[in-house]
Amino acid sequence: MKTLIDEAKTLRRTLHQYPEVGFTEMITTYLILKEVEDTSFTLYLGSDATDINAQMGRPSEAELLKACERAESFGVDKDTLDKIRNGETGIVAVLDTGVEGPHVGFRFDIDGLPITEAEKDSHIPFVEGFKSKHDGEMHACGHDAHASIGVALLKYIDTNKDELKGKYTIIFQAAEEGLRGANGYVQKGWLDTVDYFFTSHVGLVPLKVGTVNAKSKGFLSSKKFDVEFYGKSAHAGAEPNAGKNALLAASNAAVNLNAISRHRDGATRLNVGKLEAGSGRNVIPDYAFMMCEVRGEKDELTEYMYERAEAVIKGAALMYDCDYKIRLMGNASTAVCDDELVDVIKRATVNNSYITQLNEEGPAGGSEDATYMINRVQKNNGKATYMTFPYELKAGHHHPEFDVDEAVLGVAISTYIDIVNELNKD
């Protein structure tokens, strides 16, 4: 166990230096691959692992190409790169013991964020020399830890496979940020026969390290979407009537999106986070772009907001004789964890010395696309939970000074191993 945890710490520090945003985790995928390719797990990459058509908010060709070149420079072999260069990053690792038993699924997300890491003496990755080497990208949400925990779990299962029964599927998921990646794996069917599903997040709640929340509640449903308005430019002084003003279509849409009515059944949200329109001062703007999101306490509320948003956007476009396009960029449901797994975790960790406090439930950290997986497992009568492994956060998630208390690695890895063993008992 000690070795596993030490290796996880080392791996986490390596991954931390190569953060890659969603669907460009080419170095990350490669580094994980190197760790696990000599095990008995069957490894699936690229289109074998995920369904590109179910990915949302994919990067541009140019961004993929740039990531690819960076991965090449890093030394990722051509063979691996060819499988994932289209953004089908991540790995699915499967081991069937051949012995009858449950199918247990795990998911670890692996992507970084478009944030520039802090260079302060209070920031350990900077001081100890394992800060991000990718300008403008950072592991500011702890997914480097997640990936490392997943690798440790995989190794444990591999080492002990002869004493284990049933089947194990471990998903190293791309692009959790923006709620864009999970659905690709779900559509590929990996969750369809899973009996027990576990996933988790480090941090989130500022509690003493050693605390485990066995399930989470309060997942916000959300839809992220981009809007484009296509008008027609014209000289604003000479022939303004010849234009179709995309900027005005967008401006009206922005205001009226915010005016979508509150809903009887609970809290909703809407934001137009970005609006860019027009080119030159004296040209009727022929193009506008908006980044939007809606949220709801329940899926139905998010759907209500999204449907109303579609009408507003269509109406605004029509007002100014513009065409428009709405592109779904991210999506997450709410989800409800299963109490049965809380019991499993309780029984499993009864002798775990890394854990100082086991809570039945903690808060979910907003929106999460693991909910896709949870819902799919439950749809097929499986059980699922989303654990959290808190520690005293020095800075919030998505902050340039965010850091992981590495003591949490031991708590998480031991908990996962306990679970595997507990499920093997019956």
- Cα separation, 416 vs 405, whole angstroms: 18
Considering only 366, 375, 400, 424, the residue that binds a second copy (CB under 8 A) is: 366
Least distance to a second copy, CB of residue 249, Å: 9
Least distance to a second copy, CB of residue 122, Å: 24
Determine if residue 392 is labeled as part of a ligand binding site: no
Least distance to a second copy, CB of residue 320, Å: 8
Considering only 1, 65, 127, 319, the residue that binds a second copy (CB under 8 A) is: 319
Is 180 one of the binding residues for a second copy (CB under 8 A)? no
Query: In sequence order, which residues have a C-beta less than 8 Å from that of residue 231 and are 6 or more positions away?
Result: 243, 244, 245, 246, 247, 249, 284, 285, 286, 287, 288, 320, 321, 322
Least distance to a second copy, CB of residue 32, Å: 28
Burial class of residue 217 in the structure, from the number of CB atoms within 10 Å of its CB (0-12 exposed, 13-18 middle, 19+ buried)? middle
Question: For a second copy, what does the binding mask look like between residues 82 and 121, x meaning CB under 8 A?
Answer: ----------------------------------------
Output 205 or 248, the one with its CB closest to a second copy: 248
- Cα separation, 117 vs 127, whole angstroms: 12
Asked whether the beta carbons of 236 and 276 are under 8 A apart, the reply is no
- Cα separation, 105 vs 292, whole angstroms: 33
Q: Which of the 8 DSSP states describes residue 103? A: E
Least distance to a second copy, CB of residue 362, Å: 16
Is 275 one of the binding residues for a second copy (CB under 8 A)? yes
Sheet containing strand 91-96, strands side by side: 42-45, 91-96, 167-173, 103-109, 196-202, 383-389, 211-217, 357-363
DSSP string, 346-409: HHHTTT-SS-SEEEEEEE--S--THHHHHHHHHHTT-EEEEEEE----SS-TTSTT----THHH
φ, ψ of residue 235 to 5 degrees: the values are: -70, 125
Asked whether the beta carbons of 161 and 155 are under 8 A apart, the reply is no
Least distance to a second copy, CB of residue 240, Å: 4
Output 2 or 281, the one with its CB closest to a second copy: 281
Is 206 one of the binding residues for a second copy (CB under 8 A)? no
- Cα separation, 397 vs 141, whole angstroms: 5
Query: Which of positions 229-268 make contact with a second copy (CB under 8 A)?
Result: 236-243, 245, 247-248, 250-252, 254-256, 258-259, 261-265, 267-268
Determine if residue 201 is labeled as part of a ligand binding site: yes
Query: In sequence order, which residues have a C-beta less than 8 Å from that of residue 33 and are 6 or more positions away?
Result: 43, 45, 80, 91
Is 326 one of the binding residues for a second copy (CB under 8 A)? no
Least distance to a second copy, CB of residue 261, Å: 4
Considering only 106, 185, 320, 402, the residue that binds a second copy (CB under 8 A) is: 320
Output 152 or 254, the one with its CB closest to a second copy: 254
Question: For a second copy, what does the binding mask look like between residues 4 and 23, x meaning CB under 8 A?
Answer: --------------------
Q: Which of the 8 DSSP states describes residue 317? A: H
Chain position carrying tokens 């390290």: 209
Least distance to a second copy, CB of residue 118, Å: 18
List residues forming the annotated binding site: 141, 143, 177, 201, 398
Q: Annotated binding residues for Mn(2+), as ranges?
A: 141, 143, 177, 201, 398
**Interaction site with a second copy (CB under 8 A):** 178, 220, 222, 224, 236-243, 245, 247-248, 250-252, 254-256, 258-259, 261-265, 267-285, 288, 291-293, 295, 304, 308, 311-312, 314-321, 329, 366-367
